[in-house]
A and B are shown apart, each in its own frame.
Chain A
């Protein structure tokens, strides 16, 4: 292994209310591939953003090629030779491959762009990397895998010394991944250092030399890939003490009726043949890593996005759900992870948001019965302990937790029996979190049923009666709470793809 090219020492970074990086260390050597692993929210992306100047660090030292550096933006980092290949490709589909590669630094002939020269240079670059792509081809015509190659080639063309891959394989097929690995091995020979962020354990084993694990914004440790097992890595990723009591057994009687049954739900790449059942009074946890397809499953089920196939049964009757309207008709409510965009109408009052899904119960002929509307809203403000001066307050003035309660009130007013909570406590402070948990427990005690999508392991273990684990758009397992442990959930969530 080569010399150290980059070290990050004692990097500290806080956002309002979150200590995102707590004295993190990282060391990258020339010609190695370093895996950076950790659960969602462990701080991997934040660390890379600090490195490339997107975020400014609060304290700590970055040493690059023996000198202390601090990049102000990605352009500076790029010029120094540190480049990120993003998960989402930043390509302009209607331009040619060569035009994309040299965007912002086009070869010119007088004032005209010299496309011929660009194609030649691109060809040289591809030859060097043993990639077979026609530089004159329109970018949109390439497969995602080839586009990814172009991104890598672009990074190389900047004379990169450090390349950071942020979940590069998320959208690739097996053979495309294999091809990408060939390039990575080739880059290794050229002494380029690489950071490889991925959740796929099998890839980590194949392509990386060392693994650095982060957890909750802290540095946990670094392992030599060859000498460690998958279990070692997972233990480092989850080895946290759970301070909130996890549920030990399901509170749902074995013979509780099935209120919702989903069979073979398919909707694009993110929802591949998902089946599950939800019982009355149950909290069914959906666990998995970012991009596992949980939200997509919920949205397809709810009719928010189109689905290709699959059967849905509500209380034993087969139903057709093509739009949220249909879903609401069958008593399904969806609380989105992104409240501001999908949950509330911020310029409207608490009362107006509360009755949004059930207007017809608040009509007096053609007029809205505003008195009744306010009374019902007031009832839920009290029942959910929503902090607001009155129900005429605009929702935009409420805090995140209280906005969430308004969304819950909306579905309770509609009298939905099946509620889908998508990341119910994201961006909510600890106190309000507990209130939401209590509320969810009260709802199931009253006979409602809840699907809870959560990326927080503690939340999953504390709230769920049963847990469905998803990975890459597929359901990889189902666990009763009595048998669920962080380790076996994480195992299913990072399951190797056959």
Chain B
């Protein structure tokens, strides 16, 4: 039971997170240097971030699921399904903007309930459930939109106000909302019964069950929280990009999971860090922007994100093996 002497800051923030922040800064400087300075500047940063918030919400959501020891590969396609179904309803059936936004979140919640119920109550492995609902989400979106892409209103139109969620005249609304949601997530995970049980059952479900806790309920809750955040992510996706195409979305699974795992959330469940996820997501999007700024194509991002997931999971697994 030796106690390692730690300085107060390291103890409070955690060694991993400090390392991650350093990595982020170094990457930023490196990209800045390599691109001859065009990477620097505040507007450049906020501009980069505008296209990263949706990923942040996905990553926050999947953090809860991974904390239970589960996994969700449906987040990206479900996000697209939310944006497509509600966007198509708005444009084709004249559903008002406010309702469309609410609808987006609700569709996310429904998928969360669906996934969570199957995993917790029917005990279908999360891998299978989320793979299946990924295809279901894609299918629903394609059928509903008759495989046509959906363009949400542009900023200049009367309904374009929703884009202010990301940035209002250059003011980073998105950043504030994202950080606020992250703080709420951190509080839920660390200060409430919900989070306590989610983490505990991720660590040892049977011991929690034998303590007389309704583990099914709490496990399902993690997926519902995830679904809700996926719904919010869909709003931030369209607010940044406006156009959504059916049949896609899978690539964001990897990126969101990478951000989460890099931030110190263990794939085995039981250990999760919201602040880690936030930093992890920033690193992922910084990396992507850097790769693009250096003149590589988008496909290189996929390769690098794939490798990052493997590296992050490997370091988690080997850290645990060393502990045993």
Residues on A lying within 8 angstroms of B by beta carbon are 302, 304, 323-325, 327-329, 334, 336, 341-348, 352, 356-357, 359-360, 363, 366-368, 370, 388-389, 393, 397, 410, 414
Of the listed stretches B90-98, B105-113, B206-214, B257-265, name the one at the interface; the rest are far from the partner chain: B206-214
From the candidates B1, B207, B214, name the one contacting A345 in the complex (CB within 8 A).
Answer: B207
Is B212 in contact with A327, judged by CB distance below 8 angstroms?
A: yes
Which listed residue (A342, A347, A348, A352) contacts B210, Cβ 8 A? A342
- Chain B residues, CB < 8 A from A328: 211-212
Q: Do A347 and B270 have beta carbons less than 8 Å apart? A: yes
Say yes or no: B207 contacts A343, CB within 8 Å. Answer: yes
Establish whether residues B193 and A363, one from each chain, have CB atoms under 8 Å apart when the complex forms: yes
Query: Which chain B residue lies CB-closest to A365?
Result: B192
Q: Mark B186-229, 1 if CB is under 8 A from A, else 0.
A: 01000111001101100110111111111000000000000000
Q: Is there a chain A Cβ closer than 8 Å to B271's Cβ?
A: yes
Besides A324-B209, A325-B214, 11 other CB < 8 A contacts? A302-B210, A324-B210, A341-B207, A342-B206, A348-B200, A356-B200, A356-B211, A356-B213, A357-B211, A366-B192, A414-B212
Cβ distance B66 to chain A, nearest Cβ, rounded Å = 14
For the complex, is B146 an interface residue (Cβ under 8 Å from A)? Answer: no
A357 touches B213 (CB 8 A): yes
B3 at the interface (CB under 8 A from A): yes
Residue of chain A at shortest CB distance from B271: A347
Bound form: Cα–Cα A96–B196 in Å: 48
Q: How far is the CA of A344 from the CA of B200 in the complex (A)?
A: 10
| Among B191, B192, B196, contact of A352 (Cβ-Cβ < 8 Å) | B196
A367/B191 in contact, CB under 8 A: yes
Which residues of B approach A to under 8 Å, CB–CB?
1, 3, 187, 191-193, 196-197, 199-200, 203-204, 206-214, 270-271
Q: Which residue of B lies closest to A299 (CB)?
A: B210
CB pair B203 A325 closer than 8 Å: no
Question: Do the beta carbons of A352 and B207 come within 8 Å of each other?
Answer: no
- How many Å lie between the Cα of A200 and that of B63 in the bound state? 53
Q: Please, how many angstroms separate the alpha-carbon atoms of A302 and B210 in the complex? A: 9
Chain A positions within 8 Å of B197 at CB level: 359
- Bound-complex Cα distance A368 to B193 (A): 6
Q: Would B208 and A345 count as touching, CB distance under 8 A?
A: yes
- Taking the closest CB of chain A, its distance from the CB of B199, in whole angstroms, is 7
Among A324, A359, A414, point to the contact of B196 (Cβ < 8 A).
A359
Q: In the bound complex, do residue B212 and residue A324 qualify as a contact, i.e. CB atoms below 8 Å apart?
A: yes
Q: Closest chain B residue to A328 by CB distance?
A: B212
In the complex, what residues of B have CB within 8 A of residue A370's CB?
Answer: 191
Distance in angstroms from A304 CB to nearest chain B CB is 6
Question: B16 to chain A: closest CB distance in Å?
Answer: 15
Tell whether, in the assembled complex, residue A341 and residue B204 are in contact, meaning their CB atoms are under 8 Å apart.
yes
A345 touching B193, Cβ below 8 Å: no
Contacts of A324 in B (CB 8 A): 209-213
Residues of B within 8 A of A363 (CB): 193
In the complex with contacts A344-B207, A346-B204, A329-B212 CB distance below 8 A: yes
Q: How far is the CB of B14 from chain A (nearest CB, A)?
A: 14
Q: How far is the CA of A410 from the CA of B210 in the complex (A)?
A: 11
A389 touches B196 (CB 8 A): no
**A304 engages B203 (CB within 8 Å):** no
Give complex CA distance A345, B208 in Å. Answer: 8
Which of A336, A368, A397, A410 interacts with B1 by CB under 8 Å? A397
How far, in angstroms, from A328 to B210 measured CA to CA in the complex?
A: 9
Contact B196 A342 (CB under 8 A): no
23 residue pairs A–B, Cβ–Cβ below 8 Å: A304-B210, A325-B212, A328-B211, A341-B207, A343-B207, A345-B204, A346-B204, A347-B203, A347-B271, A348-B199, A348-B200, A352-B200, A356-B207, A356-B208, A357-B211, A357-B213, A359-B193, A359-B196, A359-B197, A366-B193, A368-B192, A389-B3, A410-B211
Cross-chain contact A342 with B191 (CB below 8 angstroms): no
Most chain A CB within a 10 A radius of its CB, from B3, B187, B200: B200
With A and B bound together, what is the CA distance between A96 and B210 in angstroms? 39
Q: Which residues of A contact B1 (CB under 8 A)?
A: 388-389, 393, 397
- On chain B, the residues within 8 Å of A360 by CB distance are 193
Asked if A344 and B204 sit within 8 Å, CB to CB, the answer is: yes
Question: In the complex the two chains form, what is the Cα distance from A370 to B193 in whole Å?
Answer: 11
Report how far A363 CA is from B193 CA in the complex, Å: 8
**Once bound together, how far apart are the Cα atoms of A352 and B198, in whole Å?**
13
Query: In the assembled complex, how far is the CB of residue B207 from the closest CB belonging to chain A, in whole angstroms?
Result: 5
Whole-angstrom distance between the alpha carbons of A132 and B157 in the complex? Answer: 84
Q: How far is the CA of A244 from the CA of B16 in the complex (A)?
A: 52
In the complex the two chains form, what is the Cα distance from A410 to B199 in whole Å? 17
Contacting residues, chain A, for B199 (C-beta < 8 A): 348
- Do B206 and A341 have beta carbons less than 8 Å apart? yes
> A323 — which chain B residues lie within 8 A by C-beta?
209
Pick from A343, A370, A389 the residue with the most CB of B within 10 Å. Answer: A343
Q: Smallest Cβ distance from B270 to chain A, in angstroms?
A: 5
Q: 9 closest pairs, A vs B, by CB?
A: A328-B212, A357-B211, A345-B204, A347-B203, A356-B211, A345-B203, A324-B212, A325-B212, A347-B270
Give complex CA distance A336, B208 in Å: 12
**Complex: how many Å from CA A384 to CA B227?**
44
Residues of B within 8 Å of A356, CB to CB, are: 200, 207-208, 211, 213
Q: With A and B bound together, what is the CA distance between A388 and B1 in angstroms?
A: 9
Contacts of A388 in B (CB 8 A): 1
Q: How many Å from the CB of A71 to the closest CB on chain B?
A: 28
Inter-chain contacts of A343 with B (CB < 8 A): 207, 210
Report chain B residues within 8 Å CB of A341.
Answer: 204, 206-207
- Cα A397 to Cα B203 in complex, Å, equals 15
- Whether A345 contacts B270 by the Cβ 8 Å rule is yes
Chain A residues with CB under 8 Å of B211's CB are 324, 328, 356-357, 410
